[in-house]
Amino acid sequence: MSKFVNRLLHFVIVWSVTTSQAQEVDLLKIRKELDSFAITLEEKLGFRDGAALFGMNRGIVNSVYLYDQGILLEIRTPLASARNRLQLTSLQSAMRSLQIENPFEQFLQQNSSSNLMLADNSQTNTFYQSLLDRIATIDSTLTFSRASQEASDSARLLRELESITEVDYEQLREGMQDLKDSMDASVMALTNLEEDMQAWFIREENNSSQPMEGLTEFERNFSDRLNGIVDKMKLLEESAVYNAQQLMSRADSAEENYVKAWQEDVLDFELSLFESVCSSRSLSNLLLTDEKLTFLLKGIGEEKVDVGMNSDKIHVLNKSDLTNCYNKIIKPDELLDRSRQYSM
């Protein structure tokens, strides 16, 4: 009896070791098959063409076997970087719009009514205050600054989306800079006008003569100069707004075309991926009957409020569908339609 127990115990130990070794060999075989398939898939998808610095612009395929569940292939494609470039440009534009400065703010702070050296002549005080009120009205909308920023952001987006050449971009930028320089010159003209008015006030304060009826020659000169500056600013503002509207329209069209082309590229990529899968027998052979093949496509999922930005796209495939595609019972595009797809 003792010998029988010892032999039985020896048999159990040997069987356990043998089974463990067999399982280890099977896992190593799966690992080897998956590594080989990942390399082949990267080559077929063009991920190994033209290696970039640190592989930042290259795609990569990572594979893992999940026991009793199946195979997971995580694929990072340059398409995600293409989407990120558009999102980053839009974010930068939004941040810049929060930093728009008032081109007249410094002027108004230096020339507020509390800082004025007013003469005793009430008529003179009223005239001076009326000019400042007009200048404050020019400042109230910030139309020029906003339009200039919108035009600059639109031009930058057109360049990022490769809708214009570098030469065209530089021409646009120079045109916008010319408008800004002209507006800066108008602001400087306001400053010079204020300095001349201050000098005039000092003379008026030291002049004890009786005030004259109506506007003096100096007051008419100040008013005419202000009218000229205001008219020029209005023209510059209208030019900036028109330029911004034109560039924003072009940028909207370019962005729409870019997104449409990107979506088509994603579909072409998925079809190429499924064609590669259908031409390989190894994946189907590695899967047990109830196991699945899952693709995790990083960063190319749908953008929805409940999903979030930069979501991943997931395809889940049955073993039977993989086998049918390999045997040409169904086509790769049919396999794509049969996959369970979602983004998260």
Residue type, 139: D
- Both 62 and 171 in one domain: the answer is no
Query: Is residue 94 included in any domain, yes or no?
Result: no
At 141 the pLDDT is: 52
In angstroms, the CA 202 to CA 118 distance is 8
Q: Does the pLDDT of residue 45 top 90, yes or no? A: no
DSSP strand pairing (292-298 vs 70-76): parallel
- Both 128 and 238 in one domain: the answer is yes
Backbone dihedral angles phi then psi of residue 341, each to the nearest 5 degrees: -115, 140
Q: Does the pLDDT of residue 1 top 90, yes or no? A: no
At 92 the pLDDT is: 54
- Both 188 and 242 in one domain: the answer is yes
Query: Is residue 217 included in any domain, yes or no?
Result: yes
- CA dist list (Å): 197 to 51, 186, 202, 213, 227: 67, 16, 9, 19, 15
Work out how many domains the chain is built from and give that number. Answer: 2
**Residue-range definition of the domain harbouring residue 178:** 101-262
Q: Does the pLDDT of residue 16 top 60, yes or no? A: no
Backbone dihedral angles phi then psi of residue 44, each to the nearest 5 degrees: -65, -35
Q: Which of 272, 225, 257 has its CA nearest to residue 86?
A: 257
Instruction: Identify the domain boundary among 229, 262, 295.
Output: 262
| 3-state SS, residue 293 | strand
Cβ partners under 8 Å of residue 246, min gap 6 = none
- Both 70 and 119 in one domain: the answer is no
How many residues would you count in the chain? 344
- Both 118 and 236 in one domain: the answer is yes
Query: Is residue 22 included in any domain, yes or no?
Result: no
Q: pLDDT exceeding 90 applies to what percent of the chain?
A: 33
Residue type, 166: E
- How high is the mean pLDDT of the chain? 78
- Both 127 and 36 in one domain: the answer is no
- Both 283 and 174 in one domain: the answer is no
| Structural contact between residues 293 and 321, judged by C-beta atoms closer than 8 angstroms | no
Pick from 21-25, 110-114, 145-149, 301-305: least confident: 21-25
pLDDT-based confidence at residue 181 (cuts at 50, 70, 90): very high
Instruction: Identify the domain boundary among 262, 290, 311.
Output: 262
- Both 76 and 113 in one domain: the answer is no
In angstroms, the CA 200 to CA 117 distance is 11
190-206: pLDDT as tens digits: 888 888 877 776 776 66
> Region 244-252: what's the mean pLDDT?
93
310-321: pLDDT as tens digits: 789 999 999 999
Instruction: Identify the domain boundary among 235, 262, 289.
Output: 262
Q: Does the pLDDT of residue 324 top 90, yes or no? A: yes
